[in-house]
Structure formats: C-alpha cells, structure tokens
Structure 1
Amino acid sequence: MPHQNQITSLVPSDYLQALELWESSVRATHSFLTEQEIQSLKPLVHSECLLKIPLFCMRDETGGVIGFIGVDIPKIEALFIDPAWRGKGIGRKLLEYAINEMQAELVDVNEQNQQALGFYQHMGFEIAHRSEVDGFGKPYPLLHLKLPG
C-alpha cells in the first residue's frame, strides 16, 4: 500500500473513484454549473482527461484516491481534491509535484471559481489573459494563468 503522502500514478482501476471525486469536487467548488451541465461534462472528463492525460494522485490510508492532478506538459489540465480533504495540503503537494517534477507552468481556471483562482495565485501563478468561453465553448470565462519567468 502506498504511503499516504506519496504521489502515485492514477491507474485504470482508479477511474471510477476519480470520476466520483471529480463530481463531488465540482459540486463543492463550481456552484455556477447546473446539474445538467455537470452530468454532460462527466463523460468528457472520462474520455478527455482520464483516458488521455497523465494523472497522478494522493491516497488515504486505505489506498483510496483523495486528490488527483493531470498534466499535459507544460499545462495543468486537472486538479481535483475530495471535499473532505480540502484545506489539508493535498492540492499544494500535487501542484508542487506538477511544477517541480513535470515542469508545469500553465493552468486555466473558471473565472467564477474564486477559490481555485486564489489558490493558484497564492502558489505564485499570475493571470496572463482571459477567454470569454471555456474549453468546451460554454459561456464560462476562463482565466489563463502562468508562473512568472
């Protein structure tokens, strides 16, 4: 069993749990999304994130996934933490891993997700530019962040 603070690869047997974690995390942080939008995003998260991007996770003492990050170098494409584990340093550890081990330096954040924006800014990211629509063409403005330098 991996040590609790160790970062490991997310493997196919983790996908169902990761998708459930994604949904609970989105419900906790993306209040601007409707139920229908959350349900319509779920298969896209599976096909475009879980199946296509290298993913890394942290696990609890039972081996359950408590947070995961996806990096398509140099961009962080996903960072989701189980709501029960938020505020405990999981996101920071995963983000530092992506920056230090994978040379991640870019991330997009929904403008309405002020918690995520504050987190990334606290971690040193700066707003580079803004888009009126998200990556799926929906009317949710994105802030494109980058690490300085």
Structure 2
Amino acid sequence: MSVNIDSRVVVPGSDDYVDAAWQLKERISSQEGVLKQRHEFFTDAYRRSKVHCYVVNDDLVGFAAVRRDGYILFLAVAPEYRGEGIGKRLVARVADDHDSITCHARTSNENALQFYEHLGFEIKRRIDDYYEDGGDAYYLKLGSGVGIADRISDLIRR
C-alpha cells in the first residue's frame, strides 16, 4: 500500500484525535478482543499522555500514547495499515524521547507479542489478573539506554 502518511504529535492536555483514537481502539477491540479499556479510563490516560499519531487524509490510522517515563499506554494500528511499518515508526518516535520503553501486552495477544519481540522487547514478568476482565499481561521492556533509537532505526530501514 503506497499512501502518504502524515505524522502528528498531540501534547498532554489536548483532545486532538481522542475521539478518532477511541473509535480505532474500539474497532480493534471488537475484531480482536484486545484493547478493552473503559471510555473514561482511555480518554483520561490519552489526555495525560504525549500521543504520536499517523494520519492518512486526516483519518487516524495509528497512534501511541506514552507517559513521561516511556511507558506505552496504548499502541494501535488500523488492521488495513498493518505491515506498512507504522507500528515500528511509532515505537521509534517513542525511542527518540526515552532511554527505555515499557508496556504491558495481554498474554493472549499473539500479534502484539510477536510485534514487540521482533522489535527487541523482552518479557520481564507475567502479571495474573492484570486487566479489569481478569486477563493476564506480560510486562515488556526495550532498551537500557544504549542505542535503543539506533536499533529501532535499523529495523525501520529493513
């Protein structure tokens, strides 16, 4: 798919793209059974985060909401845009600002786990009953400060 994808940054406190992000998250949730956050939790966390967005014709196709410590709260890419490197580029944008990146992924979310493993994330621990619905999670970490942005950049060039 060869399309022009624009990147945008939403600063903490802004509502830019929050509704589009919620809609994308809900679409993925209904299709794949992941990203099951409540609306209030999602919008509050989104507004407190720096959000990297990828947009095609003003439609949000991917986003990563990140806390100040490099923890990825939400990362989502529209199914029809997967395989185009958007997820890698989102993580690379986070790596530009942080020495290490962490996140949680549902233990049953094979797509996410394969994606993060491909980027070099390591499973640090399993957390039973992490999610509100009783789902288990892995806590994942990438980097220790040395070359994280370079490693991600190398992956993007592939």
Residue correspondence of structure 1 range 48-87 to structure 2 within 5 A: 49-60=45-56, 62-72=57-67, 73-87=69-83
Compared CA separation, residues 6 and 121, structure 1 to 2 (3 A): same
In the alignment, the residues of structure 2 paired with residue 81 and residue 55 of structure 1 have an alpha-carbon distance, to the nearest angstrom, of 13
* Matched residues, number: 138
Letter in 1 for 2:134: P
1:43 pairs with one of 36, 40, 43? 40
Q: What is the rounded CA distance, in whole Å, between the counterparts of 1:28 and 1:123 in structure 2? A: 24
CA contact (8 A) 2:100 2:143 kept: no
Runs (4+) of structure 1 exceeding 6 A deviation are none
| Contact 2:102 2:142 survives alignment (8 Å) | yes
Please state whether the residue corresponding to 2:17 is helix, strand or coil: helix
Q: Unaligned regions of 5+ residues in structure 1, if any?
A: none
Aligned counterparts, 1:1-149, within 5 A: 4-10=4-10, 11-30=14-33, 38=36, 41-47=38-44, 49-60=45-56, 62-72=57-67, 73-136=69-132, 138-149=133-144
**RMSD (Å), alpha carbons:** 2.2
Unaligned runs of 5+ residues in structure 2 are 145-158
2:54 partner SS = strand
| Shift, 1:13, TM fit | 3.8
Q: TM-score, normalised by structure 2?
A: 0.76
- Structure 1 pair 74/13, CA: closer, same or farther in 2 (3 Å)? closer
**Shift in Å at residue 135 of structure 1?**
4.8
Counting aligned pairs with the same residue, the percent is 22
Provide the secondary structure at the position in 2 that maps to 1:24: helix
Q: In structure 2, do the counterparts of structure 1 residues 55 and 148 end up closer, same or farther at CA, with 3 Å as the change threshold? A: closer
